[in-house]
Structures are given as C-alpha cells and as structure tokens.
Structure 1
C-alpha cells in the first residue's frame, strides 16, 4: 500500500514552466537553447528549473560538445503514476465498501 507520493517530485511538477519542460522533453531530448526557443523563458531561469527537475529524478542530462541535452526519465513518471493509481484504487475500494471510522 502506498503511504505517500514523493513530495519533491510533486513540488517539481507543481510549476507551470516545469510542466511545460516535461511535456517538451516527453517528445524529444532538447538542449537549453531549444528550451529557450520553445518556452520563451530566459536561459538562467530555465537552468534553475532544469536543476530542480534533475534533483527530483525526473530528467537526465547528456553532454554533447558545448551543449547539454536533457531527456525525460520515463520510469520516474511511471513510478509516480503507479503510486497515484494505488491511491485511487484504495479510495475506490473504500468508497464501494462505504467504510467510515467510528468517532
């Protein structure tokens, strides 16, 4: 049974720009230059957001000459989805059984 969802991952995903980055990286690996073009955000701002996504375990990096490419770690999202699915399943079973703790 799932007791909690990783709060660092949830905090990382709570920001609209980081969610936009996640959506872009779900389609292809991109460098910061590409992400600046796609999002319109400043490079320093993007770098800070990418650091948060890396630290949360959602994004991997790959050096390529002068550039660093970022890619989404699908297993991180799969794990998060599984945690939420387990919570939803438990809630569904509780609702169907009409379980209430007595006061």
Structure 2
C-alpha cells in the first residue's frame, strides 16, 4: 500500500501536474486559467485536477459559475517531510553496506 505522502510525490512527478501545482501555489485558479497558462487541453487539465483532488493536494471551491481550485498546503508539507525523512535516513546509512 502506498502512503499518502508517497502518492503525492508520485503525482508531482508528472510535468503537467507539477506545473498545475506551481500555478496554484500563486493562488486559486479555475480550469480555464490553468488551460491558458499550461497550454494543455481542458480534458487533460481536468483529469489531472481530479487526481490531485483525490490525493488531497487540491480542493475545489464553487464561486458563482466557476470552480476555483486551491492547494492544500498540509498535503505538500507532508510530502516534503516524507522526502526529508528519506534523505536523513539515506545520510545516516550511506556507509552501512549489507552483508553478502
């Protein structure tokens, strides 16, 4: 089973999802904003937003005729801490060769 933090890291490995997250880090945006800024097709952007919502990285907020998407900072922070823990473990065990 994949942990939520690992899932977030995996999701951000996709270049378009990474770009979407970077845009949303500048503030909430609609699908139309994201399509215009990424140059990707609307169905593609919507599919990526769905994956990000399901992982808890993005929330959707209806405002009139539009839906704005915003980042969930705690989800990103959790993934960052997960990577920091892995880096610390790798530093601590860099010279601990396993017996053959």
TM over 0.5: yes
Aligned pair count reads 98
Q: Which moved more, 1:31-40 or 1:16-25?
A: 31-40
Unaligned ranges ≥5, structure 1: none
1:37-77 deviation digits (Å, cap 9, x = unpaired): 11111211111110011111110110101110001111111
Partner residue, 2:37:
38
Aligned equivalents of 1:6 and 1:82: distance in 2? 9
Equivalences for residues 5-84 of structure 1 within 5 A: 6-84=5-83
Contact 2:31 2:45 in 1 (8 A): yes
TM-score (norm 1): 0.86
CA contact (8 A) 1:5 1:84 kept: no
1:99 equivalenced with 2:96 (yes/no): yes
Aligned residues: CA RMSD? 1.5
Largest Rg, 1 or 2:
1
Q: What TM-score do the two structures reach when normalised by structure 2?
A: 0.88
Cα 1:85–1:54 shift into 2, 3 Å = same
Unaligned runs of 5+ in 2: none
Q: Is the 8 A contact 1:30 1:71 kept in 2?
A: yes
